[in-house]
Amino acid sequence: MITLIPGALFLFAVLGVVEVASRTGIVNGAVIPPPSMVAMIFLQIVTSGAFVAPLLQTLELLFAGYLTGCGLALLCGILMGSFRPVYNLFEPLTELLRPIPKPALLPALILFLGLGSTMKVTVVALAAFFPVLINTIQGTRSVDVTMIDTARTFGYGKAQILWRIVLPAAAPYYLAGMRVSLAIGLVVIVMAEMLTSNGGVGATLIDMQHEFKVRQTYGWLAVLALTGFSLNALFTWIERRLTFWSAS
């Protein structure tokens, strides 16, 4: 706890400077509001429960897309990492699709999938897919061949080798990928919501911005920051539970 003090002091010092600058007019107070006002609005958003509905929608779509994307990526990654022919078959395609900035795909996605949940889940899944795929391929390849051979001599079937050797051994890799995908997924879902304005935190942000409610915008950004922070902490907790056996 004591170690948090320097960090807290630093944070409050920075906020203090902004507060003074904003209130005295050194910076335009209508544009960079005093942190104290933002804090009040943030508390209001939280205590009034206004954050619940949009946040739930955002998280719902995020998880749906994220889990889909990661699941598919794990599957494809293991297949591509284990079997050269499979890798060669899909590598040109994935190398072509990976660099496409996903927001550029939105018009096509909206055409085929509409403006609702399906489209948003898909775009999140697409964005989450590639980091996990790359990392899973790398992780699968890094599995010590002797381990697999040993397992085979013990009569392990393909499925068992996969479940008991490959998956755990590749875990550090694909978990790292999944962490990156979580951050990317959050960015993408917020962006999709900002562009389609149909509920969710992103849509709320855009609404606040349209009405030039700058303080509310920062209040909701604080909600978003806290959400991302919590998601990351949650991920770390889950990751630790899953990999307790590996020495770091």
Site for other proteins in 200-229 (CB under 8 A): 202-203, 205-207, 209-214, 217-218, 221, 224-225, 227-229
Among residues 66 and 165, whose Cβ is nearest to other proteins?
66
d(CA 80, CA 174): 14
> CA separation (Å) from 106 to 59, 86, 212?
20, 29, 26
Q: How far is the CB of 83 from other proteins (least distance, A)?
A: 9
Q: Is 93 an interacting residue with respect to other proteins (CB under 8 A)?
A: yes
* Least Cβ distance, residue 12 to other proteins (angstroms): 10
Question: Residue 9, class by beta-carbon neighbours within 10 Å (0-12 exposed, 13-18 middle, 19+ buried)?
Answer: exposed
- If one asks whether residue 100 binds other proteins (CB under 8 A), the answer comes out as yes
Q: Can residue 197 be called a binding residue for other proteins (CB under 8 A)? A: yes
How many Å apart are CA 186 and CA 228, to the nearest integer? 7
Q: Which residues have a Cβ under 8 Å from the Cβ of 64 and sit 6 or more positions away?
A: 117, 121, 124
| 92, 145, 154, 247: which one binds other proteins (CB under 8 A) | 92
Closest distance of CB 50 from other proteins, Å: 17
Contact flag: residue 88 with other proteins (CB under 8 A): yes
Closer by beta carbon to other proteins, 67 or else 115: 115
Question: Which one of the spans 56-64, 68-76, 111-119, 140-148 is the region binding other proteins (CB under 8 A)?
Answer: 111-119
28 is an interface residue for other proteins by CB under 8 A = yes
16: tokens are: 């203090």
CA separation, residue 194 to residues 4, 159, 228, 238 (Å): 35, 43, 17, 30
* Contact between 108 and other proteins per CB under 8 A: yes
Residue 132 binds to other proteins (criterion: CB under 8 A): no
Of 110 and 147, nearer to other proteins (C-beta) is 110
Question: Among residue numbers 46 through 85, which ones bind other proteins (CB under 8 A)?
Answer: 84-85
**Binding span for other proteins by CB under 8 A among 41-49, 69-77, 159-167, 191-199:** 191-199
Tell me the C-alpha distance between 241 and 119, whole Å: 33
Contacts by 236-243 with C-beta closer than 8 Å and gap 24+?
Answer: 239/175, 239/179, 242/171, 242/175, 243/171, 243/172, 243/175
- Joined together, the tokens standing for residue 125 give 């899944």
Rounded CA-CA distance 90/53 in Å is 40
In the bound state with other proteins, the residue whose beta carbon lies nearer, of 152 and 213, is 213
Q: Does 172 bind other proteins (CB under 8 A)?
A: no
